[in-house]
Amino acid sequence: MLASAHMRFIYVLAQRALLVCVLVLLTAVVLPLPVAQAAQARLEVEVTPRSAALRKNIEAHIGSLGERDAAALQRYRRTAEAQARRAAEALGYYQPEISSQVIDEDPPRLRIEVLRGEPVRLRNVDIRIEGPAAQQEQFRLPDEPQLAPGKRLDHGRYEAAKRSIQTQASRFGYFDGRFQRQSLLIDPQAGYADIELVFKSGERYRLGESLFYGESLLDLDLLQRMQPFAAGSAYDAELIAEFYQALQSSGYFSTVRIDAEPSSALERVIPVKVELGLREPRSFGVGVGFSTDVGPRGRADWTRHWANSQGHSYGAEMELSAPRQNVGLWYEVPGKKPLTDKLRLAGGYQNEEIADTDSRSRLLRLGPEWHSLRPSGWQRVLSLKWQREDYRFGDDNGLSTLLLPGVSYSWLESDNRIDPSRGYRLMFEVQAAKEGLLSDTDLIHATASAKGLITLWERHRLLGRAQVGGTVSDYESVPPSLRFFAGGDQSVRGYDYQSLSPRNAQDERIGGRYMVAGSLEYQYSVAEKWRIAAFVDQGNAFRDFEMPDLKTGVGVGLRWVSPVGPLRLDLANGLDDDGGIRLHFSMGPEL
C-alpha cells in the first residue's frame, strides 16, 4: 500500500514536471513573436500669417500625442485647441481663430489651424529700481529691447525681466529687496498692455569674517591670502565662487565647502563659514606619450603638496625619450597671492642628442624663479639661472658656464582652457650673461612668440603662429641650449625635428644664431569632436640675418578633441631641399 502511494506520488510529480516543460516551451515560442506597435499620432500646426515662434510654442504646449487613434484624437482636439490658445496668448495673440480636424490615416493626424490675428502691443512700460541698488553701476535694468512701447506683448520676456532683477538682487546681496509693484494689465479688445515693475532693493548685505573649520594644518594667514575679499566687503556671489575656486585649485585640499547663507546674517553681515579637508600629502604620477619629434616618451613625477604650515611644497620629475633625458627637483614657496605668485627654486640635469646626430649636450641648471601676476594681467617670471653645459658638435667639444638673469612675460586670453574657440597667447623672454660674473662670455638671448585662434560661423577656424629668436654673442661660445633649430611638429612641418639649421664643415647641424618660424592653418569641424585641417608653415634657423633662406611646408591634417586636448595627425610635404613627405603626430591645447 505504501508502495502504491509512492508510485502515485511519482506519477503526479512527473505530470507536473511535464506541464512545466510544456509551458516553458510555449513561452519560448510565443515571447519572440513581434508585437504590433501602435503608430504615434502626428500633430500638424499651421499658422496664418506664418510665425515659426508661434507654431513652435503651440507644439510645445500640446506636446506628444502618443498612441491615440482617430477616435481618441476626436475626443482630445478641444483640449488641444485650448492649449493652442494659451500658447498664442503667451506670445501676445489674444484673439486668434483656432480650428482643428482629425485626419483618419495611418498614423492618424491632428491638424490645428490658427489665424493669429493682431497681437496685443505694449503701451506703457515702467521698469525701474529704487533704493541703493539704483546707484550701483553693475546692477542693470533688464536689457530687453522687446519690452518697449509698441512692441508685441510676450509673457516670457516679461517673466524673464522679473527673474533678471531678482537674480541680480541675489547676486549682489539685496536680500531684503521686493517688488513694490508688479503688474501686467492687458486689454485684449483695445489691443494694448501696460507693464509696471518697481523693485525696491533695500540695504545691501556685507561679508563678515571667514571662519575656517575642518582638517587643515595651514596657517590662517595663508588661507586668508587666498580670499578675494576683505571682511566688511559688499556681498557678491561671484566673490564667494572665486574664493571656492581658489581653495579648490590651490592643490592643498580634497574637499572645500563654503557657507555664506543670508539667514545667518546679523545686522546684514553674513559670516563666511569654510569647511576644508586636506588632500593626501604626497602623490606620484606616471605617464607615457608619443610625438614624431621625440618618439615614445615616459614621464614620472613625485610631489609633496604641503610640507609645512606655510604651504611650501617640493617634488621631483623625470622625462625620458630617445633624444632627450632629464631629471629635476623643485621647491616652491607661495607668495602674497598664493595662486599666482610664488618663489620656485629649481635644479635639473638634461642629456640631449642634437638634431639626430652625434652631437650631444649635457646640461646642469640651477636657480630661483619669482612668478607673479602683474596688475596689468601679464604673468611675469624673474629668474637667475646658473648653467654648466658640456657639449660636442661632431669633432668639436666645448664647456660653457653662464649665470643668466632673465625676465619673461606671458599673456593668455582664451574662452576654454582645453579646446578654445577663440583667443591668443603672447610670450617674450630675455636672458643675459656678463663675462667675469660667473660666465665665460657676454651674451643676450631673446625669444618671442604669438599664437592666435578665431572661429567663424561655428565650423570654420583660423589659427596663426609666429616665432622669432636671436642671440647676441660670439657665435662659437654659444652652447647648444641657447642656439636655435627649426623643423618638427611645433615649428615647420614637412621637416624632421631640429633638421633646419646651419651646418659645419662636416655637414653636421650646429644650430643658428637666429630663428624665424610661422604657420597659418585652417580647420573645418566635420563632427562634434572631429576636424580636418590644411596648413602652410615657413621658417628656418640661420647664422646671419641677411636674406634668410626660409623653408616651406604644406599639408593636411586630422584633429580629434580628446578630454586632455586636441590630438593632431598631419601629413606634410616639405617643399625645399631637406623636406619630403612626413607624418607628424602631436597633442595639446591650440594656444
Provide the pLDDT for residue 7. 39
Q: How far apart are CA 486 and CA 81, in angstroms?
A: 71
**pLDDT tens sequence across 265-281:** 999 999 999 999 999 99
Provide the pLDDT for residue 292. 81
Q: Which residues lie below 8 Å from residue 114, measured CB to CB, with a gap of 6+?
A: 45, 46, 47, 48, 54, 58, 84, 88, 96, 97, 98
Could you tell me which of 104, 62, 57, 103 has the C-alpha nearest to residue 81?
62
pLDDT band at 291 (very low <50, low <70, confident <90, very high): confident
Mean pLDDT score across all residues of the chain: 88
The pLDDT of 70-81, averaged and rounded, is 90
Q: How far apart are CA 353 and CA 213, in angstroms?
A: 53
pLDDT band at 318 (very low <50, low <70, confident <90, very high): very high
Q: Is the pLDDT at 67 greater than 90, yes or no? A: no
Q: What is the CA radius of gyration of the chain?
A: 36
Of 539 and 67, the structure prediction assigns the larger pLDDT to 539
Could you tell me which of 111, 78, 114, 85 has the C-alpha nearest to residue 97?
114
Of 394 and 451, the structure prediction assigns the larger pLDDT to 451
Strand 379-393 and strand 342-353: the pairing is: unpaired
The pLDDT of 235-241, averaged and rounded, is 95
The DSSP secondary-structure symbol of 62 reads: H
Q: How far is CA 357 from CA 208, 390, 396, 461, 578, in A?
A: 65, 16, 13, 38, 15
Q: What's the pTM?
A: 0.78
Handedness of CA 526, 530, 532, 536 (dihedral sign): positive
The DSSP secondary-structure symbol of 185 reads: E
**pLDDT tens sequence across 386-423:** 999 999 876 678 899 999 999 999 999 998 888 899 99
Q: How far apart are CA 169 and CA 136, in angstroms?
A: 11
Provide the pLDDT for residue 12. 40
Phi, psi of 240 (to 5 degrees): -65, -40
Q: Please give the grid coordinates belonging to residue 11.
A: 506519477
Domains of the chain: 42-115 (3.10.20.310), 121-200 (3.10.20.310), 206-278 (3.10.20.310), 282-587 (2.40.160.50)
**pLDDT tens sequence across 503-559:** 887 778 888 999 999 999 999 999 989 999 999 999 999 988 776 789 999 999 999
Q: Is the pLDDT at 14 greater than 50, yes or no? A: no
Q: Which string of DSSP letters, residue by residue, matches 556-575?
A: EEEEEEETTEEEEEEEEEE-
Q: Measured in whole angstroms, how far is the alpha carbon of residue 367 from the centre of its chain?
A: 33
Could you tell me which of 447, 449, 514 has the C-alpha nearest to residue 478?
514
pLDDT band at 323 (very low <50, low <70, confident <90, very high): confident
Provide the pLDDT for residue 357. 67
| Residue 300 contacts residue 286 (beta carbons within 8 Å) | yes
Provide the pLDDT for residue 515. 94
3-class DSSP state for residue 101?
A: strand
**pLDDT tens sequence across 324-370:** 899 999 999 999 999 999 999 999 999 988 876 667 899 999 999 99
